Amino acid sequence: MTEDNDLIVTIDGPSGAGKSTVAKILARALKYAYLDTGAMYRGVAYAYMKEGEPADIGRFLKNLVIDFTFGTDTKVFLDGEDISGYIRDPEVSLWASSFSQNRVVREYLTGKQRDIGRKGGIVLEGRDTGSIVFPDAEIKFYIDANPEERAKRRHLELSSKGMDAERATVEKEMAARDKNDSERAIAPLVIPKDAIRVDTTGIDAQQVVDIMVRRISERSR
């Protein structure tokens, strides 16, 4: 384990690769804060829906009173109210996905992510944390798993939340989202330069974290 307590660690990868689970355990192991950047996109999307989907996004963002707390979990506050319980709704997911292609929204959230992370001692997780937000981060991970396993995990996650979906449908939607994320013009999902790649197929979250901790110790020597 590193003694250094100010590293910036980024974890990117497609959905279902296990980023959130792994990032939380890794942050705990390193005694670092944890930031879920997807929750930030979701929070802005929720606010946008609540505002009645205003046409002028620039003005909407200017007037937005949104705060994020991070540490063991990422919480989102809108006008002081904790909205973290609402941001996983399917409708919010759709808007978040659409917003993630909007340059103004990306610049707004990238700025906030840099403000939060620049002091270090943090694990950031998302789609562009190592490529765009902190391209000079000391440790960048890119994690992935084969599409069947990712769909299986996503399916399990949805069932555990009481949302029933056909496994084949989950797999199809995931493939469409992957294509969207990787082919979008702004901040597409890419393997960041110098990233350490970890294939999580067939191994559990703790095993992934063990690999990561080992790789961090090697790089920090």
> Which stretches of the chain bind ligand DC, using CB under 6 A?
15, 37-38, 41-42, 96-97, 100, 126-129
Joined tokens for residue 161: 């939340």
Nearer to ligand DC, 37 or 200 (CB): 37
Q: Sign of torsion, CA 12 17 20 22?
A: negative
- Which among 147, 165, 156, 164 has a CA at the least distance from the CA of 201? 147
The runs of H, that is alpha helices, within 118-166 are 147-160
Neighbours of 110 (CB within 10 A): 18
Q: For residues 13 and 212, which CB has a smaller minimum distance to ligand DC in the complex? A: 13
Q: How far is the CB of 87 from ligand DC (least distance, A)?
A: 8
Task: Indicate the residue among 189 and 216 with the shorter CB distance to ligand DC.
Answer: 189
Residue with smaller CB distance to ligand DC, 41 or 70: 41
| Cβ-based nearer residue to ligand DC, 38 or 117 | 38
10 Å CB burial of residue 188 (0-12, 13-18, 19+) is: middle
CB of 155 to ligand DC, least distance (A): 15
Nearest-approach distance from CB 186 to ligand DC, in angstroms: 9
- Residue 126: CB minimum distance to ligand DC, A: 3
Residue 46 CB, nearest distance to ligand DC (Å)? 11
Radius of gyration of the chain (CA): 17
Give the helix/strand (H/E) hosting 97: helix 90-99
